[in-house]
A and B are shown apart, each in its own frame.
Chain A
Amino acid sequence: MVDITPADAVPPAEVAEMELYHPHSWWTKYVFSQDAKVIAIQYSATATAIGLVALVLSWLMRLQLGFPGTFDFITPEAYYQFITMHGMIMVIYLLTALFLGGFGNYLIPLMVGARDMVFPYVNMLSYWIYLLAVLVLVSSFFAPGGPTGAGWTLYPPQAIMTGTPGGQDWGIMLMLISLILFIIGFTMGGLNYVVTVLQARTRGMTLMRLPLTVWGIFTATVMALLAFPALFVACVMMLFDRALGTSFFMPAIVEMGEQLQHGGGSPILFQHLFWFFGHPEVYIVALPAFGIVSDLISTHARKNIFGYRMMVWAIVGIGALSFVVWAHHMYVSGMHPYFGFFFATTTLIIAVPTAIKVYNWVLTLWRGDIHLTIPMLFALAFIVTFVNGGLTGLFLGNVVVDVPLSDTMFVVAHFHMVMGVAPILVIFGAIYHWYPKVTGRMLNEAMGRFHFWVTFLGAYLIFFPMHYIGLMGVPRRYNELTDMTVMTESAHHLNSFISIMAFMVGFAQMVFLFNLIWSIRHGREAGGNPWRATTLEWQTPQTPPAHGNFGKELPIVYRWAYDYSVPGAKEDFIPQNMPGSFGSSREPA
């Protein structure tokens, strides 16, 4: 079928070398750098910094929920501001930016065997616009009236009205401007990630030899490029409504006894636009996590990934399907029942490719030579957490179950498990896995294990009880849960317990951050390939990889990314760029 030349070394290909930009000063080397690796670190550092803000905000919320009435400075307005900013930061400025801007920038060129991204200048601009977006977001904390408190979904009409914090002040304007900037910056980066995968793969790196990490990031980026315009449109139109007085989303409304000048607009229109972005966003975060976790599991179980083709198809399938499920976030908007039925069906269909992926991870582990390294621990924790979060997704995907549960803590628990905890566990695993490549040193093992166990168990102790109090009917979005019939004494105790756990998990993240900084100097020397992995980023001549990644000649790829424990081979891994035939790497019969 396919014409494959024998697996001996072939002469270096006449690959047209890209013109690399060479920095001339300290500023262009480390600050206004066009090197994707530096940009990746800039993205990651910025995302982590703003993520810390989100972490602190979640503590403040838990203080209020766990111990209502104790902290006077957490007014209802402040509580809504914390909720909004926590959600927005985590979903967009942390997860999206870290997976695509951080891991995408670092890993794509290295893993496909390229010297750099294809449009390095645009890539640099992408980061600086992202930073600007973050700064605008942060500035809203200091603006008159504070940041917006509209909830991360920013639903009109309340988002731009007087009763909502920031609605008639600067908060919502800054939020919308920041989002618009983020989308512009992301589009610049996204073009790079997609076109680099398309055009800059080294010789022999066919699409079906790409590591799944690249597949995940690539597909997620394509989705993001098509989904973020919806948020862009929604933001621009809302900005018009708020600043210029148009009525795209604003119905005729009376505020404080006064008729507003708006009239006739449709808040549902905003919901459609928002969720047309919002649902793909879930998978924009999840697909890179799927890809990365596949590579972590295969490497640390010393076994080829089970069903590679199926994994690729599932990634692409999930990417396509996720564009036709958006209205399952809108069951309670009063939509037509048949409409809801359609979206419930598509939602449940997504469970099929996702389940395929979970089975394949488990089957990869089956009879593998499992090394319980820290990346592996996080990967295993991810599988469990993703399954748990996914199962409650099956509940909520059905209209009749969703309607009563929609405004309860059950939903909060569901989406935190599936798109909060699960992807973040992968991020941690990935950092422990690739930190040695980025810095040349291992992260401290003891601190890492402490971090893992407190985070993993702690996250469960936070979110498992939350399912229960959700089922009891405890509502979400309420800043004080005291005088309600559903708030029994045990529910109060659970709430306090959740809060205490949240502080402990947060503390573990401080240990992690300390580890990140401490290990740059004091970590164990890692060498070039500490995990004995096959993919190209571990085969660079220098660690950390130098500008241009691969010395004088680009590597040539002779095999797929998962040749672990091949019978007949000398070592239990064969790098992708190693020529020669080593028996068959067929899956064990």
Chain B
Amino acid sequence: MSVILVFLLVIVGFAGWWLSHQRLMAKPWLEQGVIGDIIGPEGSALPTAKIGLGVFLAVVGCLFALFTSAYFMRMALSDWQALPLPRVLWFNTGVLVLSSIALQCAVVAARRGQIDTVRLGLVTAGLTALAFLIGQLVAWRELTADGYLLTANPANSFFYLITGMHGLHILGGLVGLSRTTAGAWNGARPERLRLSVELCAMYWHFLLFVWLAIFALLAGWAATFIEICRQLLT
């Protein structure tokens, strides 16, 4: 359970930092009137939708951290046999990076108001993300063809489970992305379009990060890394 605890520690650190800016030492019973240094509503200046997405990504991060924790605990048992990773995963990783880059370009273009580049970025991101999903299915087929079936070994089960869960999240993201893309063509208001492109990019970068972590985990580097850390500590 150490992975999830480290993850939660990060969340606690962030929450603590935020709380420390909220005047928790104030004595509200002595203060009457409107507190002067805050003008307008009491929330943050960030758009509400971004904060909402941020909270949601924390939950998603928690989910994958828990899968990782379970992975390590199950890995420690004797029947674990690591499976060879299909080469196509490298290609998929590259495609997903491209997807993220395309969305980042769309964000930059949206800030500058270049609607054509926005459209190009959105479509590229969508197509590359689809290519990633297809690539993942190819990887699954290769593995099953080689006899690495879901139930044969817990390593296989985790491979299918975690990549599948990640793929589902990409799929959900594609729904949002397609709505944004439709908006880019149907003349959504520029500031609204900018926000939704930014939200998509945020989600995409996060899922790219999750994928890189998962890739490291499934390839066994994460275990090696943790082993090195452990030796350094002891």
Contact = CB atoms under 8 A, between A and B. Distances in A.
Interface in A297-312: 304, 308-309, 312
Contacts of B55: 191, 194-195, 225
Interface stretch (A53-61, A239-247, A445-453): A239-247
B36 to A, nearest CB: 4
Interface stretch (B62-70, B130-138, B201-209, B222-230): B62-70
Interface residues of B, number: 55
Nearest to A316: B19
Interface stretch (B40-48, B84-92, B105-113, B180-188): B40-48
Given A194-B55, A276-B4, A206 B38 contact: yes
Contact of B151 (A199, A237, A247): A247
Contact of A264 (B32, B73, B154): B154
A370 B92 CA distance: 68
Nearest to A312: B24
A320 B12 contact: yes
A265 B11 CA distance: 31
Interface string B71-107: 0011001111000000000000000000000000000
A336 interface: no
B231 interface: no
A313 B24 contact: yes
A203 B40 contact: yes
A5 B34 contact: yes
A261 B79 CA distance: 14
Interface size class of A (residues with CB under 8 A): 35 or more
Nearest to B79: A264
B33 A2 contact: no
Given A194-B55, A226-B62, A584-B30, A201 B25 contact: no
B29 A560 contact: yes
B41 A13 contact: yes
Contacts of A199: 41, 43-44, 48, 51
B25 A204 contact: no
B6 interface: no
Given A232-B63, A240-B161, A4 B36 contact: yes
Contact of A208 (B15, B28, B33): B28
Given A3-B37, A237-B161, A261-B151, A585 B43 contact: no
B157 A247 contact: yes
Contact of B23 (A118, A208, A247): A208
Nearest to A247: B154
B48 A195 contact: yes
B58 A225 contact: yes
A246 B11 contact: no
A226 B11 contact: yes
A266 interface: yes
B36 A5 contact: yes
A100 interface: no
Contacts of A247: 79, 151, 154, 157
B56 interface: yes
Contacts of B233: none
For chain A, what secondary structure do more than half of its interface residues adopt (helix, strand, loop), or is it mixed? loop
Most chain A CB within 10 A, of B27, B30, B38, B66, is at B66
A187 B56 contact: yes
Given A247-B154, A312-B24, A6 B43 contact: no
A248 interface: yes
Interface in B136-194: 150-151, 154, 157, 161, 165
A233 B66 contact: yes
Contacts of A5: 33-36
Contact of A226 (B1, B25, B52, B58): B58
A265 B23 contact: no
A6 B35 CA distance: 9
B34 A15 contact: no
Most chain B CB within 10 A, of A201, A226, A245, is at A226
Contacts of B80: 264
Given A3-B37, A194-B55, A276-B4, A207 B22 contact: yes
B40 A273 contact: no
Given A206-B38, A273-B66, A248 B30 contact: no
A265 B73 contact: no
A587 B59 CA distance: 40
Contacts of B44: 198-199
A582 B33 CA distance: 11
Contacts of B1: 272, 276
Given A206-B42, A304-B29, 11 more contacts: A4-B31, A5-B33, A15-B41, A118-B52, A199-B44, A199-B48, A209-B28, A247-B79, A247-B157, A264-B154, A266-B73
23 contacts: A2-B23, A13-B41, A194-B55, A195-B48, A199-B44, A199-B51, A201-B41, A202-B41, A204-B35, A206-B26, A236-B161, A240-B150, A244-B151, A245-B151, A247-B79, A248-B157, A261-B151, A266-B74, A308-B28, A309-B24, A309-B26, A309-B27, A586-B30
5 closest A-B pairs by beta carbon, nearest first, are: A264-B79, A199-B43, A560-B28, A7-B33, A201-B42
Interface of A: 2-8, 10, 13-16, 118-119, 187, 191, 194-195, 198-209, 222, 225-226, 229-230, 232-233, 236-237, 240, 244-248, 261, 263-266, 269, 272-273, 276, 304, 308-309, 312-313, 316, 320, 323-324, 556-560, 562-563, 579-582, 584-587
